[in-house]
Structure 1
Amino acid sequence: MIKQTIKQSLFLLLPLLAFSACKEETKKDTQETTETVQTENILLQEWTGDYGGVPAFDKIKLEDVKTAMIKGMELNLADIEKIANNAESATFENTIEEMERAGKELDRAFKYYRILSSNMSSPEFRAIDEELSPLFSDFRSKITQNEKLFQRVKTVYDNSQTTPLEKEQQRVVDLVYKRFEMNGAELSPEKKERYAAINKELSTLYTNFSNNVLHDEEGYITYLDSTQLGGLAEGFVKSAAKIATDNGQEGKYAITNTRSSMDVFLTYSTERELREKVWKNYYSRGDNADEFDNNKIVADILKLRRERVELLGYKNFAEWRLQDRMAKTPENAMNLMETVWKASISRVDEEVKDMQAVADKNGDKITIEPWDYRFYAEKVRKEKYDLDSDEVKQYLQLDKLTEAMHYVAGRLFNYKFTPVPEGSVPVFHEDVKVWEVTDKDTGKNIGLWYLDPYARQGKRSGAWATTYRSHTTFDGKKNVLASNNSNFVKPAPNQPLLVSWDDANTFFHEFGHALHFFSSNVKYPTLNGGVRDYTEFQSQLLERWLSTDDVINNYLVHNKTGEPMSKELVAKIKKAATFNQGFATTEYLASAIMDMKFHLADPATIDVDEFESQTLTELGMPKQLVMRHRTPHFGHVFSGEGYATAYYGYMWADVLTADAAEAFAEAPNGFYDKEMADKLVKYLFAPRNAIDPAEAYKLFRGREANMEALMRDRGFPVPKK
């Protein structure tokens, strides 16, 4: 999962985080914000130091946030007004290029703001977040609904239709014009007013949704005593003990309400009642019928999204959203998902039968329930493939996996990663480590890579990548500052962090996003954005290098003996590559289909819980598992708009991934084939959004992607033509 910069997300109406102040307070705050704020507030200042300047993360002060964001918006709007009121005829240079360079102060401030929101949130910050959210919405509306500005953009666009610009310039103009058009620039004044009001309401709802989920993640910790640790590995137990101690529960063991903790516990714990409790805590986030319940918020979001796109003349949110995605229409996205769905639930039926047989054989006298799936799947894995996930984990040390990723980046992208001296680059938490990225041959600086691997209080769940500065050659060449963020349970002191094979895949996945940032060769900031059902492709593809021989033989070594993984264990892993694909595919697809169904349905009288339940029943959702993201905590879709009706994009991207992986597998030197690697960088990574994604993929593969590759990859039957 990726996050975008303010310039990239400005016209996409992403939540950009949130707050709730009345107009009188806003006016007063703005008046009191003087030029002194600009010069003294660290959030607005230009970055200094080595590596092209870096964020002063070590100097962030909460009291600086509100004034910085208000002043940043004020300065950005001043830039926009200057462009809009230029007396000269509109040209690419005096309109589009000036828009590309507008708002630098706000752009810098948002980098700090996002860190506070995602990595270091606190009750105090959340209060500020709630207060500022409607102000951000007003700010965006003042740009997207600036009639003079849009007319200048339209003039440049119309002129380019008769006299095309050079390719990158034309792509920027097309993207900017389309985003204005999609966000109401041509509406009547009355409709524009309502459009802006809807966005303002939504911005607050998105923030409240996120904060409610974070509350439930922090508030539902399960504490164990020493008699309830059956099946849990020593390293996990030590980590759980430390977390409990840190929370004032000395002598107990904490299972936090995050995926990384929940997943391990459900896979290995022999305490079935506790598995049920942990499962229910996790999957009921935002759905506890209390003040932090998100069901009404979801219903309100759906109604407002529908009303907003109806102002633009669209039937539903999905139709509006997908017009500039690879899928183009909701029907195309649904056709893909429904084709795979049939195969995936059929595979779940097989998996459940295998698990029930193991339970019966053991005399467990149970019927497989959702909190049993991971536990008994692990037993089936051992029985069918003689493969023990805990044994595999002994070879998956986070430090060695980090080295492996750097090795892959060196082979494919010619990058070298060198740790920077401790203290030489400011970080926002002591757990964050930083590497310099250089070209292996020339030593030229590409940028810096920040890694924030551990879960902690105030950090949102999941894994993601983001940029603090993107590559451009516009107004001088800029290097890249990129980060990867995970939520691994921090090991006890002097203990290695061992992760599951799935978590290792996710680690590689997010690093793929970082490499996508580092490899950019675009000129204009706008082109560092992306098409949602395409930008997950590059990162999904990078996951494939985890299982290459070079990585396995050199970096997957036993945490105690240092011995490389045996050929026998490697063979078992590869043989079991499609194991449990029914579970993995179905839990994902259920969320993706639900996302689309919610936005196609009439939201007027929708009951969120009932709609979720009814839709899953109609789909034939197996009762032994649940959606990966249940609706009341589906942050991808309801804490903002980046993935709304676009969660299917992971599957769309996986079609490309499976097809591209086959191209590498068939190459003379496999996944490290030089010719294929060069094409990978040239066509799939470096252009970012400077080339239409479908065209870029055809340049790489010589044809469109083949869906049959996806079915083969997951071990599903290939549909007959």
Structure 2
Amino acid sequence: MTETNPLLQPFNTAPFSQIKNEHFLPAIKQLIKDTKDEINAITENKETPTFENSVEALERTGEQLNRVTDIFFNLNSAETNEEIQKIAQEVSPLLSDFKNDLLLNEALFKRVKSVYDRKDSLTLTAEESMLLEKQYKGFARNGANLSEDKKETLRKIDQDLSKLSLTFGEHVLAETNKYELHITNEEKLSGLPDGAKEEAANTAKEKGKDGWVFTLAYPSYIPFMTYADNRELRKELSLAFGSKAFHNDEVDNQEIVLQIANLRYQRAQLLGYDSHAHFVLEERMAETPEKVTSFLDELLQKAKPAAQKEFAELETFAKELDGIDQLQKWDGAYYAEKLKQKRFNLDDEKLKPYFELKNVINGVFTVAEKLYGLSFEEVNDIDKYHPEVKTYRVTDADDASVAIFYADFHPRAGKRNGAWMTVYKQQEIKNGNNERPHISIVCNFTKPTASKPSLLTFNEVTTLFHEFGHALHGMLANTKYASLSGANVYWDFVELPSQILENWCYEKETLELFATHYETGEVIPMEYVKKIKESAAFHEGMKTLRQLSFGMLDMAWHGADPSSIQDVKAHEKEAFEGTKLYPNVPSNCMSTSFSHIFQGGYSAGYYSYKWAEVLDADAFAYFKEEGIFNKTVANKFKNHILTQGGTQDPMELYVKFRGKKPNPDALLKRAGLI
């Protein structure tokens, strides 16, 4: 008897323990076929196209396919291996082809267009209108109006792009996993906190080595760059980190970067757009590359004088302290930390004992309860893809089910760097039933050791709040259609729920809820809270400049014709010119590991972190005026922003919440730049 494929059976929560790698390819092939049958049923319908039999029917197709591909690609990010990566290379072109079959299906487009052309005479709700608009644009913006030969060209480009971005990510992960800094002489660890040393000793043990091993995973890399006194070793680690996939070897990404940029440009041209950025930004709050560039330039004018002043001060400090004549990139975090300690008498090592991961999780849950009436119960009856994953049932004040929440906190070989939120099941209202979502966050926080639990840096605390803000957007979703639910919003609006939640980390009222010493239970001293607050704007000019440089690099790759670019590094260097503080490092190249724009969804969209900061600073100013746990303001934020997903224009939603458009001065004021 052949074994049944769990991915082809109905399931509520993802059946991780039953899934084998060999289930994915046959399941995805079968589900593509099933979805095509569902689409054929729409196109072969002899009745006049209506919203229900065409637009809504299309929205409801492929639900199992979406869930299975979500499971697959989430595993490829959080728990991958060579076999999964190989399957991804097979699956991606299949899905790319399928997407194109859908978007280039003339009969289907005709039916949607027929409804769209009569939209003014139909009585549609705001959400139904948005779904119709989104579907029509989805076809029109992706080649439905092209001639047959151009449609074929588009298919080929999309296939190539899906494979290239996967390969890009595999190369970055391979480079991250390959490098290790192996130290056997304890003197070379001078300056490092005990926790970092213990973590490195554990890593060495796992790798069957004596001494200490440091890697390019953030919880290993960042403490070393921040605290290690040995400048030569900081340099070695920094050069390894900064040159990922830039070694002219089999995992080099230079050619891939050029190919991706050129293919995206060719695709945009084919569809009638000036550049990839013009194509992308048409569906963003920012609307055009010109607006993005002027937004970034305006912030640059405000931030650059502050950044230059901060940098000069850091140079002087390093010279006085250690006779450093030329501050290099591998010195920045080290001397900034020393200067911060001197100025505020505050460092991460003092703070970490108050931020035990378990307590911070409870803290973020308590904030969600005080703002939105949510409760989180850890449960063990939900299947998970790794023993480290925690699972929770989320309920509201009336004990009704809100969501299932997965959380995965520590680095592993099969997990890419960074932190992200993702979805295993979208919220939607179907057959009168409100199907609740399954949401996950994945992070790379400091692991517990034999002597200490997982103690977070303050930066890791804000990261947890950030990702949890995204998770709330997913969990509280309350829309009719899955494609408009939760975080399915304009990309430069998606960071508002995540970034606003970070603000609570700096507030005394919040810290008192969870920041207690892991050994003594003592609440974090108020002088520390005051210093966290004071130090929040420390080096804000330099931090802003760094973010702007990434946004400008993104626009340099996507805002114009890239066909004349031959040298990835030279192009990058030119893009960074206006934001440069440190001397250029010839062996480093950011583009070759800039996963946000070459593997994730941020191409022509990196500016949106700063864009959303304007929104979040303005929105939080409202909370501050009324009280950070004010129920009225929280309900407005929940009802107008968090539950609405992409059902309305984001600026309209924002104005409903705030009563007016955002004021950019709120950001500059918070950052201490005005």
After TM superposition, the score normalised by the length of structure 2 is 0.96
1:385 is aligned to 2:344: yes
Hey, what does 2:51 align to over in structure 1? 92
1:692 to 639, 643, 649: 649
Deviation at 1:620, TM superposition (A): 4.3
Distance in 1, Cα, partners of 2:89 & 2:187? 43
Hey, what does 1:150 align to over in structure 2? 109
- 2:286 and 2:292 in contact (8 A); partners too: yes
Deviation at 1:625, TM superposition (A): 8.5
Distance in 1, Cα, partners of 2:272 & 2:130? 25
Distance in 2, Cα, partners of 1:516 & 1:142? 31
Distance in 2, Cα, partners of 1:558 & 1:323? 49
Alignment deviations for residues 109-134 of structure 1 (CA, whole Å, 9 cap, x no partner): 11320232111111121112112222
Specify the code of the residue in structure 2 equivalent to 1:509.
Answer: H
Hey, what does 1:7 align to over in structure 2? none
- 1:417 and 1:437 in contact (8 A); partners too: yes
Specify the code of the residue in structure 1 equivalent to 2:404.
Answer: L
Hey, what does 1:473 align to over in structure 2? 429
SS at match of 1:451: strand
Hey, what does 1:527 align to over in structure 2? 484
Specify the code of the residue in structure 2 equivalent to 1:231.
Answer: G
1:608 is aligned to 2:568: yes
Alignment deviations for residues 37-76 of structure 1 (CA, whole Å, 9 cap, x no partner): 9x921122211xxxxx311111221111211111121111
Specify the code of the residue in structure 2 equivalent to 1:467.
Answer: V
SS at match of 1:434: strand
1:506 to 459, 463, 475: 463
- 1:471 and 1:521 in contact (8 A); partners too: yes
1:233 is aligned to 2:193: yes
Alignment deviations for residues 568-596 of structure 1 (CA, whole Å, 9 cap, x no partner): 11111111110021232122211111101
- 1:316 and 1:600 in contact (8 A); partners too: yes
2:667 to 686, 698, 710: 710
Specify the code of the residue in structure 1 equivalent to 2:598.
Answer: F
Gaps of 5+ in 1: 1-35, 48-52
1:449 to 405, 417, 423: 405
Hey, what does 1:517 align to over in structure 2? 474
SS at match of 1:190: helix
2:169 to 200, 205, 210: 210
Distance 1:287 1:431, change over 3 A: same
Distance in 2, Cα, partners of 1:612 & 1:493? 43
Distance in 2, Cα, partners of 1:469 & 1:615? 39
SS at match of 2:430: coil
- 1:587 and 1:625 in contact (8 A); partners too: no
Distance in 2, Cα, partners of 1:449 & 1:116? 16
Moved more, 395-404 or 251-260: 251-260
Deviation at 1:335, TM superposition (A): 1.2
Hey, what does 2:93 align to over in structure 1? 134
Hey, what does 1:244 align to over in structure 2? 204
Hey, what does 2:242 align to over in structure 1? 283
- 1:358 and 1:379 in contact (8 A); partners too: no
Gaps of 5+ in 2: none
1:678 to 618, 629, 635: 635
1:41 is aligned to 2:41: no
SS at match of 1:65: helix
The residue correspondences of 1:90-129 to structure 2 (distance < 5 A) are 90-129=49-88
Deviation at 1:605, TM superposition (A): 2.3
Specify the code of the residue in structure 2 equivalent to 1:243.
Answer: T
2:550 to 591, 596, 599: 591
Hey, what does 2:290 align to over in structure 1? 331
Distance in 2, Cα, partners of 1:80 & 1:489? 47
- 1:354 and 1:380 in contact (8 A); partners too: no
The residue correspondences of 1:265-280 to structure 2 (distance < 5 A) are 265-280=224-239
Distance in 2, Cα, partners of 1:89 & 1:494? 70
The residue correspondences of 1:527-606 to structure 2 (distance < 5 A) are 527-528=484-485, 529-606=488-565
SS at match of 1:477: strand
Alignment deviations for residues 618-671 of structure 1 (CA, whole Å, 9 cap, x no partner): x1411258999921111111115x21101111111110001111111111xx11
Deviation at 1:164, TM superposition (A): 4.2
Specify the code of the residue in structure 2 equivalent to 1:45.
Answer: Q
SS at match of 1:448: strand
Alignment deviations for residues 232-255 of structure 1 (CA, whole Å, 9 cap, x no partner): 111221111112211222x22221
- 1:398 and 1:498 in contact (8 A); partners too: yes
1:484 is aligned to 2:448: no
Hey, what does 1:309 align to over in structure 2? 268
SS at match of 1:605: coil
Alignment deviations for residues 589-616 of structure 1 (CA, whole Å, 9 cap, x no partner): 1111110121123211212211001222
Hey, what does 1:412 align to over in structure 2? 371
Specify the code of the residue in structure 1 equivalent to 2:6.
Answer: I
Deviation at 1:561, TM superposition (A): 2.1
Specify the code of the residue in structure 2 equivalent to 1:685.
Answer: L
Hey, what does 2:420 align to over in structure 1? 464
Hey, what does 1:72 align to over in structure 2? 31
1:664 is aligned to 2:641: no
Distance in 2, Cα, partners of 1:703 & 1:291? 53
SS at match of 2:492: helix
The residue correspondences of 1:150-169 to structure 2 (distance < 5 A) are 150-169=109-128
Distance in 2, Cα, partners of 1:443 & 1:247? 47
Distance 1:263 1:629, change over 3 A: farther
SS at match of 2:429: coil
Distance in 2, Cα, partners of 1:482 & 1:221? 33
SS at match of 1:73: helix
Specify the code of the residue in structure 1 equivalent to 2:592.
Answer: P
The total of aligned residue pairs comes to 668
Hey, what does 2:392 align to over in structure 1? 435
- 2:394 and 2:403 in contact (8 A); partners too: yes
SS at match of 1:401: helix
Distance in 2, Cα, partners of 1:200 & 1:373? 41
- 1:532 and 1:646 in contact (8 A); partners too: yes
- 1:556 and 1:564 in contact (8 A); partners too: yes
Deviation at 1:136, TM superposition (A): 1.6
- 1:43 and 1:112 in contact (8 A); partners too: no
Distance in 2, Cα, partners of 1:184 & 1:341? 37
Deviation at 1:263, TM superposition (A): 1.4
After TM superposition, the score normalised by the length of structure 1 is 0.90
SS at match of 2:444: strand
Specify the code of the residue in structure 1 equivalent to 2:4.
Answer: E
- 2:227 and 2:334 in contact (8 A); partners too: yes
- 2:541 and 2:673 in contact (8 A); partners too: no
Alignment deviations for residues 76-125 of structure 1 (CA, whole Å, 9 cap, x no partner): 11211221221111111111221122112212311320232111111121
Aligned-residue sequence identity (percent) comes to 34
Moved more, 182-191 or 235-244: 235-244
Distance in 1, Cα, partners of 2:358 & 2:46? 58
SS at match of 2:624: helix
Hey, what does 1:401 align to over in structure 2? 360
Specify the code of the residue in structure 2 equivalent to 1:703.
Answer: K
Alignment deviations for residues 143-176 of structure 1 (CA, whole Å, 9 cap, x no partner): 0100001111111111113334122111111111
Moved more, 345-354 or 581-590: 345-354
Distance in 2, Cα, partners of 1:548 & 1:629? 38
Alignment deviations for residues 344-368 of structure 1 (CA, whole Å, 9 cap, x no partner): 3322322222222222222444421
**Which contiguous aligned blocks of 4+ residues in structure 1 show a shift greater than 4 angstroms?**
624-629
- 2:363 and 2:514 in contact (8 A); partners too: yes
Aligned-residue Cα RMSD (Å) equals: 1.8
Distance in 2, Cα, partners of 1:61 & 1:354? 56
Alignment deviations for residues 185-223 of structure 1 (CA, whole Å, 9 cap, x no partner): 111111111111111111111111111111101111212
Specify the code of the residue in structure 2 equivalent to 1:210.
Answer: G
Specify the code of the residue in structure 1 equivalent to 2:667.
Answer: L
